[in-house]
Every structure is written in C-alpha cells, then in structure tokens.
Structure 1
Amino acid sequence: MARTLAIVGGGWAGCAAAVQGIDEGHDVTLIEMARHLGGRARRVDVEGYPLDNGQHILIGAYTETLRLMRQVGVKTTLQLLRMPLRVGYPDGSGLFLEPGAAVPAFVRAVLKHASWRWGEKLALLRSCAVWLVGGFRARRGQTVAQLCARLPKRVRDELIDPLCVAALNTPADQACATVFLRVLRDALFNGRGSSDLLLPRSDLSALFPESAGQWLLDAGATVRRGERVMELAPDGAGWRLDGARYDAVILACSPSEAARLAQPVAPQWAACADALPFEPIITVYARGSGTRLPQPIMALHANDAAPAQFVFDLGQLQGPQGLLAFVISGAAPWAARGPEAAGQAVLAQAELALGRYFRPPLRLVRTMMEKRATFLCTPGLSRPPAQIAPRLWAAGDYVQGPYPATLEGAVRSGVQAARRAFS
C-alpha cells in the first residue's frame, strides 16, 4: 500500500513536492488555502488581461524547474522566450551575451562593451577569474558591495548592482556575497545556455501551477483548494492535519503559516522561520499607445528619484500591446513612501529614459506591491532547515540552501522534501 503524503501549500514548492511525491509512489494530497495554485507567483487581471502579481525571469540554469514544467506538459519552447543574457540600457549601452557556452560568451560580451574603458573591462574579468579560481567562495559575513569594492564604479552601477538586486532582491550593500557568487557560478560559469534569459510568454499560473494541478489529478492525487489547515499534531510515526492522518507531511506554505503550524511541535524551528526579515517588490504597470521597446526586457538606471531597475515590454511576450511592467526590487524605501508615490516616480523615470518610444505619455494602469516578496538575503542570515521533525518537512524558497528566494530555489526544496519525506 502506498504511503500517504500531505503537502500544505500549493505554490511552486508545493506543486513541485506533490509531483515528485507521485513519482516516488506516494498517495499525495495537496491542500491549498487559496482558490488558485501558484502562491506568490500567480496570475492577476490587469485591465482584463491575465498578467502576474510580479514579473519573474527564469534562466537556463533552472534545471529542476524546467524538468518539472516539461513533466507536467508545459511546452517550454513555446511558453518561454529564450534569449541570451542582456543587461541593456535605453541608450544602447550594456552587456549583451551571444548564444553559446556561457564563459566565452561572457568574456566576449565584456570585451565588446561599448561604453566601458579597457581598464574597467579588464578589472571585471580579473575579478571573475579570481572568483573562479577560488571556487566562488566569499569571506564569512561579506556583502556584495564589499566583495566588489575594488571594481570600477561604472561596472558596479551598470552590472553588479542590477544583477544583485534582480537575483537576491537585496541591495548590494546588504546582500550576501556567498549567495551572489553561487548565482554567478551557476548562471555565468556553467554549461551552454545556463545564462540564457527565459521570459514567460504566459501568466505565471499557466506556466506551471495550473498544469501541475491537472497533472496531479490525472495521476490520482487529491487536490483541495480553498482550505486552510488549522492544526498539526503528531500521531505515532505520522502526523494529523485537522484530524486526518498522514504518514508524512510537507509544509510548503509561507514561512509565517508554516511557523504557526509547527510551533506546538517544533518551537525552535518556528521561531527561526518567524524571524526571517522580508523585502518587498513593487511592479508598476503602465501603458502607452504604440509603445514598443527595442528589447522585451531592458535595464534602467535607478537612483533615489528613479526607482525601477528593469522594464518588461509585455507586448513582446504575448501580453497586450503597449503595456510595460516596471520592476522595483529591494523596494523597502519605496514601499515606505506608498504605491502612489512609487507609481508616479516610475512614470517620471520612464519619460526621461524611454520617452522616445511612446507618444502620448504613458498612463499608469496599476501599481502592485508584494510586501513579503522574498527574504532579505543578508550575510549570516539564519534560515530554517528543511527537516522540522521526523517525517515532517518544510519546502519553500526560504529554507536552508545555496540559492536566494527564486522559483528554482522553491522547486528544488519541494523536490528534495518529497524525496526525503519518510526519513
């Protein structure tokens, strides 16, 4: 008889755990509090169009995410626009990788960078060589700003800082250098295509969670939506959720919800999960008639008055024509000012940086703020372990691991929890 496995939470980690649980031969029940699957990476409606609560980028190094997407029937070649890594600015400057092996493509892109001086290019390549030879290890407690302090300011401003805040959702002066180097290693110094950008051509719910939900039903799993688990209690070698017994349980819900359920049985784990600091992300949707950017994604120069670091042209990603999504990562200062101030600042920033691409002026459509988008990825941050107790596991982008709060981190944690659920 198959052993019973309950997964609490239907975000990307929970869906990954459920799919892997079926592969392991378990009798899987997935319980999601909301009416939809997807968690923080899900669909919302903007002017009647199915868009997202925030923009997400996948990269070629997201091997587990891509594997599971294909397993549940997602046609990744159609639903993801694959393009070489580009950190390009409206003035035409930037770092543009060519297709091919990541390391030589990166070196060529740095050497061809039009606006950097030779000293700046060589300084970056020299630092990357040092990181490579050193195994991409940073000093204990080191921030990204400290790691890159000797790099020229223009390299830091135009490449390091945008990559850091995009990958870790944490400003460079606070971000953990160890995690940043791990991301660089897997993306820029890995196999062919690892650094490629994979831009969703569908909303995030359709990209994986909805397909996973249907796949689970077809595979005989139970998927219950709109139910909040109120109580977790031990029962011999297994666990009870609101009275129903399971041989093993994976808590793939938010850290606060997992802490609430785990507190009676694992108070130290719950305290660690509850103590995690979080950083918001703000997405500003704006629209202009006839608007089309030179690339589907562009970097922007951000400062105290210009908050957005990246802009997506959703018209090039099967979204409505003329709709742009501006992303403010590491958004705590702008969250404190409020969504209206952030939206107006982005419109002013867009007029200065992108005004040549639209007439009449952009119209503000919607400003969305995810207050607890990711944990603040600082040096020495104490993240809760994946195992809470025997046969009780946590899955999510916040559990202990080498990655920041990304879709790949969430998926990998779900897969590992399902594989080890009965240990």
Structure 2
Amino acid sequence: EEIRIKIKSMFKHAYDSYFYNAFPLGNLKPLSCRGGKFELSRIKMLTLIDSLDTLYILNNHTEFVRGIERLREFDVINEGFFRQDENVSVFETNIRALGGLIGAHFLADEGLDVNINDIWEYDNILLKLMIDLGDRLLPAFNTPTGIPYGTVNLIHGVPAGETKIASLAGAGSLSLEMEVLSRLTGNGVYGRVGRKSVEGLWRRRNAETGLVGKHVDVSTGHWVESVSGIGSNSDSFFEYLLKYSILFPEHSGFWIMFQDVWSGVEEHVKVGVWYGDVDMARGNKGGSRTRFESLASFLPGLQVLLGELGEASKSLNAFYAVRSKYNFLPERFDYEAWDVEGGGGQHPLRPEIYESAYLLGRALKTINPLEDAIRDIDKYTRTPCGFASIENVVTKKLADDMPSYFLSETLKYLYLAFDDDNKIHDKGAGWIFTTEAHPIKWLP
C-alpha cells in the first residue's frame, strides 16, 4: 500500500506539473517549467490523451472524467479536435493519441465510481475522436506496397516531398490500434491497411535467414537499411505480430508470420542472452554488434507472453544487471566492454524494463525487483516541475524533457506491479497492452 501511495504521489506531481506549466501544449519541459510540442507528433494535449487510462488505473476517476471533458471542449471549440495543421509521425500519433483514446474508451465502458456514475454518463465521445484521427492517418497508407509513409499532415495528407523511407517499427506497429478501430466502428478499412502494412514488410524478409531490415522504401519495398535486430527501429514490429495473433486469433496469418520471423531472430541474431544487430542476409555468422539497446528490454515481456518464463528470467537478469550499474538503463550499452557505448548514455525515462519485470512478476507470482527503480526515479529525476529525462546515466545530468510515455507507461507499469487487485488483473478480463501501455480488451 505504501508503494502504491508513493507512485500515485509521483504521478500527481508529474500530471499536475504538466497542467500548471504546459497545458494545452503536448509536452512538458520539466527543467524550464514550460510547455513544448513533441516534435514527432505536435498535437495539442498529447500528454493528457496519453495518460487518461493511467488516471483510471490509479483510481482517479474524477480527473479521468475531467480529462475526457477537456478533450470534448476542445473538439467543439476547434470544430474537430484533430483539425490541426501539423505534420505528425504516423507511428507516434497512432500509439500515443489513437492508442490513448482507445484505452480510455475501453475503461470508461468498464464503469466508474458510484458517485460519478450518478452525475456523468459516458457517451462514446472518445470513439468520435478516434474515428476522426483514424481517418486523418489513412492517407499515409496510400503507397504501392501498402507500407505507409512515416509522416502525414492532419489536414492536408502526406506532405509534398515526404521521404519514402520508413522504419520497420514505425510501419509495422499500427495493426493493433487500427484493427480495434475497425471492430469498434464496423468499418474494416482501418484494420485492412494495418494488416497490409505488416504483410508487406513480412513478405520482404530475407529468404535464407527470415530476418527483416530496419528501414524500407515504401514505394519499392527495397530495404535501404539491411541491419536486423530487436532494438531501435524494430522492437514493436515483433511485439505487435505476437499481440495481434493473441487478440485476433482468427487472423492466423499473424501467428505464422511471428513464428517465421522470430525463429530467424532466435537462430541468427541471438548470441548468449544478447540480441545484437546483424546483417539481415548473413545473421550472426557475419558478426554481431555487441550493443544492447534499452528499447530491446521489452524482450522478457514478449518471452512471458510466449510462456518462455525461464528465458524471460535470464533476459531480465542480464538487462537488470546493466540497470543496476547506473541506476537506469542507458540507451546503448556495449555488453562486451560492459560500459556505456559512446554517445549512448541517455535515459529518457523509458518503461520497457519495468514492463518486463511487471509481466514476469505476474507470471511467476514473485516479488518484483522494482522498489529500487521507484526510489531511483524519484531521487534522480524529480524536479520542481515534474520528472526529467537523464542526459547522462553516469553523471545523472538531466535533460529538459518529460515524455508523455512516462505517465502512460513507466508509472503505470510500476503501479500495476504492486496492485494485485486492480481491475486490469480481474481473472479472465482479457486485457493486453499496446506498445504505449494502453489496455485493449479482447473483442469477439
């Protein structure tokens, strides 16, 4: 109980700081105590949208409802919430904004505190916003391969001169949110474009190794970066193949695609407990970079979903040893030299290792090793105006940024790790988290 109270207090400090200093802008700058736009998705109120379902999970239903009403008000004033003349990352907007609306919509449907139910009734306003946003993302998928452009303007469509180069994770991690939008609306177009993108990437895997690259030309389907790995620019592609196959088993092709590419990763990328970058045609026979990336620490969580609890424990122990050296995971770490890779010492408050520890703890019914993580975040990153990313894990110098995922993911996973009785954990509830930790309920 004491730990949950502590995390709620940390969330309140971060959330209130955003409202006092940044709202209605998308992001908080916690050192300069002002607002800013998240450069990859310059949408107003992005931190609010991303953190709505965390409010619900932390049982702050009053602020959850107030947040929904703030979105409704701007939707009316602006004559369409997402009628914003901004170029945005399709990937980041999908996982943060569309995913945030989806998670909050599902939870609003679950019911609220009795005293709120007496005076407020959910009327599907978030579904209205989802449809508006989904429609504004669709032009990005209009390519010869079905693999979407990385950027779209929310009013004008794909910007003139937009690059044809897209990342594996960026183009291959849209399927969950798009399929859910189709299920909720009865309009199959969203799910179709999401599936087509994933299938387009999978079909271009290497015939020998089964590996996929990190960047592709959306017009030709040619890999422009043939490096293969599970970290940056790749991670959530694998995560979404598996999670989609769990949530929507009738699309059996996703499980087949996952098994295909993941067996390639296990055979041609893995070295010991590490998964370094390799050439997609040669695999680790052509040499493996001894780099561990913080983003790759989603791996133990994926292994938990596969039922590979022994492997998940080995992976998490290895990654946690790196975290323990610096109190935080650096962005890039050389596991052979056992030191931060040059220029890779940042820690932007990422959640992946805590997500994995939470999932493994739930599976094994063991005590989580996360109390020290909570203490370190509070000790080293708290500022008078929120929590700040770390510029250097060795010196603990801070950076003027509090990513919205700190509220939507990092604090959510830390809280759930210590809350067995949370509604999300109800037996048979059928929840699964998106890559931004937004809960999706199984839809028949």
TM-score, normalised via structure 2 length: 0.29
Higher strand content, 1 or 2? 1
Find the structure with the greater CA-based Rg. Answer: 1
Higher relative contact order (CA 8 A, sep 6+): 1
Give the structure with the higher percent helix. Answer: 2
